[in-house]
Structure 1
Amino acid sequence: MPTVMRIGSFRFYFYSHEPNEPPHIHVDQGDATIKVWLDSGEVAKSRGFRAHEINDIIKLVANHRDALTEAWHEYFG
């Protein structure tokens, strides 16, 4: 599970066994987790985050979309 970046208490990463899915990022904070599609910025699934936290995470993903997408393509080819 390569960690791409950390912002505050959020860890942004992807699983190395998901190369056949569209580019996305997983974000964890404690026991809470969310998966966000990088192209659309939509939530694929979420567990444990409150609505305002999800909105904050979506904004962080949007603000760092280029770097996250580049990391995805560098890792998966």
Structure 2
Amino acid sequence: MPTVFHHAGFRFFFYSNEGEPREPVHIHVVKVGGEAKFWLKPVRVARSNGLDARTLRALARIIAERSRLIEDAWHDHFGH
């Protein structure tokens, strides 16, 4: 599970086995008590558990700001 970055106690990462066929670029976010999956294009919540709407909006902003970093890390890891 490659970690792309940490922010405010959250870990932003991919699962190495993202399935076949591979889903579009996305990022998983986890912190004690909650987790979420976000699509990158456009940035939106795919699913979440234990995180409130305010936190999800804040995470979406962080992901949008760092979308290039996330996408580059995705392509570096998965080779596409």
Give the TM-score normalised by the residue count of structure 2: 0.92
Number of residue equivalences: 77
2:58 maps to: 56
| Distance in structure 1 (CA, Å) of the matches to 2:42 and 2:55 | 18
2:68 maps to: 66
* Unaligned residue ranges in structure 1 (runs of 5+): none
CA RMSD between the two structures: 0.9
2:15 paired with 1:15: yes
User: Which amino acid letter does the alignment assign opposite residue 69 of structure 2?
Assistant: A
Q: How much identity, in percent, do the aligned residues show?
A: 40
* Unaligned residue ranges in structure 2 (runs of 5+): none
- Runs of 4 or more consecutive aligned structure 1 residues displaced over 3 Å after TM superposition: none
User: Which amino acid letter does the alignment assign opposite residue 11 of structure 1?
Assistant: R
- Report 1 or 2 for greater relative contact order, CA contacts < 8 Å, sequence distance ≥ 6: 1
1:39 maps to: 41
Q: How much does 1:39 deviate?
A: 1.3
